[in-house]
Amino acid sequence: MEVYRSKAALARVKEIAKSGCAATIGAFDGLHLGHKEIVMKACEVARQRSLPSLVFSFDPTPKEYLNPAGPPARLTRFRERVELLKQWGVNYFFCPRFGADIQQLTDEQFLHDMLLGTMHPRSLVVGDDFRFGRDRHGDIALLERASVDAGFDLVRVSSVFVAGQRVSSTAVRKALSEGDFELAEVLLGRRYSMSGRVMHGRHLGRTLGFPTANISTGRRVTAVKGVFAVRVRGLGETPLPGVANLGTRPTVQGGGRQLLEVHIFDFDQEIYGEMIQVEFVTKIRDEMRFENLAMLTEQIRHDSLTARAVLGV
């Protein structure tokens, strides 16, 4: 899969798509089962018509850009979206930065400049709730009219319902915020996880007897916070059990920056620079501030025992 992020790559995307493509467009945060249905349909249409498949999205998402003071929790960082789309068989992923220039486009301008002018779709696959343009004024009816005028097939994909509810990024965020990882897994079609490269920290965990692999969350707001039983992938054939803290470390002097810290059980290897994936299994407790490091150490010991019991190790 080829990935294009900058507006400077726009000419290349237009060149790729000028002979036509099977395209889809959306925020696609979380890439849950509803998103997967749309993307896989675009790939299916592409194969049937011998066309390349193209996914068009934005980073940040429009909702993040329009609400900088209180954006919705980001479910997937850019790299995670890339990896999932690659697994699903997408040929091209175009994800320019969403800014004022795009936000100010009317629905007609967005249709002609971004959709038709960039993707040149022979088939356009969208969800039944897709909206576009300034104030989200553009709708399916406008796309249907445009499909006749511009000569492309419009393929509508119905919402996906599982566990008695419509699958959406909002529903996934709600499940995660309530600690319902089983429901989140059903909605996502996979266990909720966060991935990143292990970086150096202050090595305080090692001093306390609980060395941690530290990962920057890469997002302003996370869908989960607290202490969790987790499994870590990327360090061998099988996932490794552990306990993780995701938060601002209020007990530690100099804390405040959001960080995912993972203590992997019975593991003693240098893994700085390694890319790992942390799967959340169960929430153990909320993050809290302790009076001193001795009390924090005792709580980590207790959390580790709880996580071991949950994970059966």
Q: Give residue 295's pLDDT.
A: 84
Same domain, 151 and 215: no
Q: Which residue has the tokens 């566990």?
A: 163
Please check whether residue 174 lies inside any domain of the structure.
Answer: no
CA distance 4 to 103: 20
Same domain, 6 and 145: yes
Considering 140, 159, 178, which residue would you say is the last residue of a domain? 159
Report how many domains make up the chain: 2
Provide Rg for the chain, Cα atoms: 22
- Does residue 21 contact residue 46 with C-beta atoms inside 8 Å? yes
Same domain, 214 and 149: no
Average pLDDT, the chain: 91
Considering 159, 182, 213, which residue would you say is the last residue of a domain? 159
Same domain, 33 and 95: yes
CA distance 81 to 31: 7
- Residue 189 tokens read as 């079609």
- Does residue 97 contact residue 60 with C-beta atoms inside 8 Å? yes
Please check whether residue 212 lies inside any domain of the structure.
Answer: yes
Considering 159, 181, 205, which residue would you say is the last residue of a domain? 159
Q: Give residue 163's pLDDT.
A: 78
Please check whether residue 180 lies inside any domain of the structure.
Answer: no
What is the domain range of residue 279? 191-311
Q: Give residue 256's pLDDT.
A: 60
- Residue 293 tokens read as 């490091």
Q: Give residue 288's pLDDT.
A: 85
Same domain, 6 and 155: yes
- Does residue 208 contact residue 293 with C-beta atoms inside 8 Å? yes
Does pTM surpass 0.75? yes
Please check whether residue 172 lies inside any domain of the structure.
Answer: no
Same domain, 85 and 221: no
Same domain, 153 and 217: no
Please check whether residue 186 lies inside any domain of the structure.
Answer: no
Q: Which residue has the tokens 């002018």?
A: 117
Same domain, 17 and 82: yes
CB atoms within 10 A of CB 145: 12
CA distance 33 to 76: 14
- The lowest-confidence range among 41-55, 76-90, 106-120, 211-225 is 211-225
Please check whether residue 14 lies inside any domain of the structure.
Answer: yes
Q: Give residue 16's pLDDT.
A: 83
- Dihedral sign for Cα 277, 166, 72, 247, please: negative
Mean pLDDT along residues 168-179: 95
Q: Give residue 18's pLDDT.
A: 81
**pLDDT of 252 above 70:** no
**pLDDT of 249 above 80:** no
Confidence of residue 70 (pLDDT cuts 50, 70, 90): confident
pLDDT digits 0-9 by tens, 289-302: 887 888 888 999 99
CA distance 184 to 247: 20
Same domain, 60 and 125: yes
The upper half-sphere exposure of residue 149, i.e. CA atoms within 13 Å in the direction of its Cβ, equals 9
Same domain, 56 and 203: no
CATH label of the domain that carries residue 256: 2.40.30.30
Please check whether residue 169 lies inside any domain of the structure.
Answer: no
Same domain, 150 and 203: no
Confidence of residue 200 (pLDDT cuts 50, 70, 90): confident
Same domain, 22 and 146: yes
Please check whether residue 173 lies inside any domain of the structure.
Answer: no
**pLDDT of 255 above 70:** no
